[in-house]
Amino acid sequence: MSYIIEQVVNGIKKYIPESEIALNEPMKKHTTFRVGGDAEIFVSPSATEVKDLIDLCNDLEVPYHVVGNGSNLLVSDQGLKGVVISVRRNAEYIDIKGDTIITGAGSSLAKVANFAAKEGLGGLEFAAGIPGTIGGAIVMNAGAFGGEIKDVLVSVKVCTKDGQVLEIKAQDLDLSYRHSCILEKEYIVLEATFKLKEANKDEIYATMDDYKKRRISSQPLNFPSAGSTFKRPKDNFAGKLIEDAGLKGYKIGGAQVSEKHCGFVVNSNAATATDVYELIKYVISIVKTKYDVTLEPEVKMMGEF
């Protein structure tokens, strides 16, 4: 272990239990694609410990990366240098005050939606079955079936790259289709506040069950993937363009354009991150050549490709 890594680990131990620190942690264990190299230092802090980690990384000039459930993430086969901050299981909590839910960034979006349904609060039905965390869902303004995070989000608590903790109103996050300003400003989501509405529990559950069934019938949930791989192009659908281009089932290595839904790239047979990345690039190039439409990946790349 090099001096700098030892120095970083010893610094982290001052704030976080040693059991929450891992060296050379395979990122394939922390992404839904089930690919990716090792994280040099992998840490699972609580929401309140993130600031200390950022301060430490800044003081020691160590690069850091932030991940949640890894459900919209492609990590390089070369892995990630520095510290990977996993805002997930130790940053998971849900509180309710009337029709308002306050939840940690590490909470499962689907779990929060189910909690709301149990309390007779509507507005998060669209999130049933979405595999990401609250933090990731806000970063990407996750949505489905006509609903989006921005429809119910009131505010977020974030840590800045300088280690400041701020409360930011939803209207100041530049929330739009699969976009927020969070990545651009290098914020780390710590907590979110949602404003929901009282509704009939049976109707909420019926809607959620319908959405879940529609996901199961239309999506390749039997293969590791990061969900929908491409953003929806204006006045069109990525899956239709890809299928019309003759790419249904097309493979590079162990990565494949799903035969069930062409908008998904899946890990069909021990794919590497490079396989997935090269297939994404190939799909984009073919669709551009045939239809003059530039598909934009919805999946975020992390590391060197």
CB 261 within 8 A of CB 248: no
- Sorted by sequence, the CB contacts under 8 Å of residue 5 that are 6+ apart come out as 23, 40, 41
CB 161 within 8 A of CB 197: no
- Sorted by sequence, the CB contacts under 8 Å of residue 178 that are 6+ apart come out as 140, 141, 142, 143, 231, 298
Q: Which of 34, 89, 119, 178 is catalytic?
A: 178
Active site residue 2: no
Render the burial of 254-271: b for 16+ CB within 10 Å, e for the rest: bbbbbebbbbbbbbbeeb
Helix segments in the chain, DSSP class H: 3-12, 50-60, 109-118, 134-139, 201-218, 238-244, 273-291
Active site residue 40: no
Active site residue 71: no
Q: Which of 46, 86, 180, 228 is catalytic?
A: 228
**Other C-beta atoms within 10 Å of 221: how many?**
17
Under DSSP, is residue 73 helix (H, G, I), strand (E, B) or coil?
Answer: strand
Q: Which of 49, 92, 125, 298 is catalytic?
A: 298
CB 157 within 8 A of CB 164: no
Active-site residue list: 178, 228, 298
